Amino acid sequence: MSLIKIQTNIAISDSGFLFNPATGESFSVNPIGLEIIRLMREGKNETEICAAVNETYDADPAIVERDLHDFIHMLRQHQLLDNNGGQNN
């Protein structure tokens, strides 16, 4: 699975607050969303992120994968990913 890269200039607070200085837009993420973004910054790919979430949380792996896919889609929608990062060609 491909590597997902969050734009490097995005400021992320410990409480789940995101700020994009390029556009001035702010976002909030829930705790699990914040954890996933941290994993992305650590350079983990989708498979590794799913494995990490499954290890910490009580969830069906298929649901985790589906939700992660949706979350990435939303990050892309909000233009928070680097150069179409994660887009399957």
Partner 1 sequence: MTKQLYERPIIRKLETGMPGKFGMRTEYPPTTQIDGIPVKKITEKYGSPVFILSEDTIRTTFKRAQRAFSTRYPKVQFAWSYKTNYLDAVCRIYHQEGSWAEVVSGFEYDKALHNGVDGKRIIFNGPGKSEEDLKKAIDNDSLIHIDHLDELYLLIGIAGNSSRKPRVAIRVNMDTGIYPQWDRFGFNYENGQAWDAINKIVGSGKLELTGLHTHIGTFILTPNAYAVAATKLADLAAEISNKFNFRIKYIDLGGGFASRNTLKGSYLPGPDVNPTFDDYAEAISSALLNSRLDSSDLPLLILETGRALIDDAGYLAGSVIANKRLSNGKKSLILDLGVNLLFTSFWYDHKITPAQPFSLYREDTVLYGPLCMNIDVVRDNISFPQLNTGDGVVVHSVGAYNMTQWMQFITLRPKIILIDVKGNMHVIRDNETLNTVIGSENLPEHLKTN
Which residues are 18's β-sheet partners? Answer: 12, 27
Element (H, E) at 52: helix 46-56
Q: In the complex, what is the shortest distance from the CB of residue 6 to partner 1, in angstroms, rounded to a whole number?
A: 11
44-83 residues in contact with partner 1 (CB under 8 A) are: 53, 56-59, 63-64, 66-68, 70-71, 73-75, 77-78, 80
**Helices 46-56/61-77 angle, 10° precision:** 130
Q: In the complex, what is the shortest distance from the CB of residue 3 to partner 1, in angstroms, rounded to a whole number?
A: 18
Pattern of binders to partner 1 over 6-45, x per CB under 8 A? Answer: ------------x------xxxxxxxxx--x---------
Answer whether 36's CB lies under 8 Å from 68's CB: yes
How far is the C-alpha of 23 from the C-alpha of 54, rounded, in Å? Answer: 34
Q: What residues make contact with partner 1 under the rule CB under 8 A?
A: 18, 25-33, 36, 53, 56-59, 63-64, 66-68, 70-71, 73-75, 77-78, 80
